[in-house]
Amino acid sequence: METANRSISLRLFADSSLIPLVQGAIEQAASVFGMSHQRVLKLVMAGEEIISYLAQTAHGGEVQITITHGGWCVIVDFSFEAAPSDLWIINLAAQKKANSGQEVEHLGLLLASRMMDRFTVRLKGRKVHLELRLDYEYLVLQPKLVRPKMLRGPLTIVDNPEPALIKEACAAVVNQYPPYLVHTAFFTPGKTVDMVAGGYLDMIVAVDEQGQLAGMLSWRAPSQNSISFSGPYIFAEGDDVARKLEMHLLKRVGRGNAESLFSDLATAQLVSENFESLGQIEFLQEDEQSIQMAVWFRLLRDDAGGAVWAHHDIVEFLEKKYSDLCLMRTIRQVDAAGESLPERSVFSTRLRPELKEATFVPMVVGVDVSESIARQVAALREDDYRNIFFHIDLASGWQAAMGGALLENGFVPRILLPKGGKSDVVVFQYA
């Protein structure tokens, strides 16, 4: 066992006899990192589920486990090298041929994810990462009825607000906005403070000359070349708060690495002339009520045009989107043409259990692509997942080619995210 900074790593073989060792390491580390006993047990159980799953599906393989103090959470990362033929095991609903010749379904990953705040499966080179994230326990805010305030004097935008101001802003958002427009972290202001301190979230607030809170905007960088924001949240009557917050955000990110800016949660106060509309995505809530979420974006750099790949069944969708957005793209059609494909498909997954939201990204498209999509969706539906998305990056012909399989399985293309990945990304939603 070695420790570096605020993480602990161990290397072992996927074998059920080592389960107690993994349990012990997670328990000790999470306790040292200050997690409550009740939560530590959840993490231990999820970790146990993963290692016993790997012992069944990838017996004897070398696994590195890294337990990290993430500021507001503890992250347990299981990483291992997998031959392309073994990658199927990281599917949420993985199937393995038993000695009898029958397919046996393994749902270990899905089981582990149920106890977590976030579960991510991703492939980095040949290394697979299964990442469990459990957040610390924070005080949860309950909304209160408040009256909008009147502003006094000129507004100032505060960069890097102090913790007290962050907490006040979170409370104001929770009090004045419906829950579906509130970033989940804002319900737990202490967690938001830790996320800002850890650099995972950026925030600016607007205050008047009395120091009274007028508005807030927050953002994060989900990838190296894109930024997603939530807001603008406006707490007081008075003009231009939203505009000032947005301009400040654009100045902050305009000379940075990102090529594009997207809304995570856009409020009605967003100044539409600063952004371009990408359309709406429908979210199903716990009570089965649907909410239409507007998605906005803008490029931060000039677009020089380019070529994208697309399955012929989504060409019409893309042509309309590109025309509406005045984006110059040469659409090159791609479809399976009987070439040899890997036997099994593999999808990386990000699950947000609290929202019953799942997002898939293809990593390997195999012969069984359609069947595999159906299997993953069925497993998620069984677990009450209501909002299921597939992201297809049009930079890759092999990803674009699976558009047909998605349509066959009840997915529809909803949104185009320009420069949302290596190239433009189409978001398919399970309808």
Which residues contact another protein (rule: CB under 8 A)?
247, 250-251, 254-257, 273-276, 298-306, 326-328
Measured from the CB atom, the residue of 39 and 419 that comes closer to another protein is 419
* Contact present, 88 and 99 (Cβ < 8 Å): no
| Nearest approach, Cβ of residue 60 and another protein (Å) | 24
At 42, list the tokens: 């959840």
Helix (H, G, I), strand (E, B) or coil at 318: helix
| Nearest approach, Cβ of residue 307 and another protein (Å) | 10
At 6, list the tokens: 């605020």
| Nearest approach, Cβ of residue 100 and another protein (Å) | 42
| Nearest approach, Cβ of residue 205 and another protein (Å) | 18
What one-character-per-residue DSSP string does 126-168 give? TEEEEEEEEEPP-PPP-----PPEEP-S--EEEES--HHHHHH
d(Cα 390, Cα 6) in Å, to the nearest integer? 34
Residue of 313, 281, 292 whose CA lies nearest to 388: 281
| Nearest approach, Cβ of residue 277 and another protein (Å) | 11
Angle at Cα 104 formed by Cα 90 and Cα 350, nearest 5°? 25
Measured from the CB atom, the residue of 301 and 422 that comes closer to another protein is 301
Measured from the CB atom, the residue of 105 and 319 that comes closer to another protein is 319
Helix (H, G, I), strand (E, B) or coil at 394: coil
d(Cα 386, Cα 333) in Å, to the nearest integer? 31
d(Cα 12, Cα 62) in Å, to the nearest integer? 6
CA 9 to chain centre: 25
Measured from the CB atom, the residue of 260 and 409 that comes closer to another protein is 260
| Nearest approach, Cβ of residue 154 and another protein (Å) | 15
| Nearest approach, Cβ of residue 261 and another protein (Å) | 9
* Contact present, 79 and 26 (Cβ < 8 Å): no
Measured from the CB atom, the residue of 96 and 301 that comes closer to another protein is 301
Measured from the CB atom, the residue of 145 and 304 that comes closer to another protein is 304
Specify which residues 427 forms β-bridges with: 391, 415
Measured from the CB atom, the residue of 153 and 254 that comes closer to another protein is 254
Measured from the CB atom, the residue of 9 and 31 that comes closer to another protein is 9
Instruction: Please tell me the number of Cα atoms within 13 Å of 45 on its side-chain side.
Output: 14
Please measure the distance between the N-terminal and C-terminal CA atoms of the chain and give it in whole angstroms. 47
| Nearest approach, Cβ of residue 328 and another protein (Å) | 5
* Cβ-based neighbour number of residue 254 at 10 Å: 11
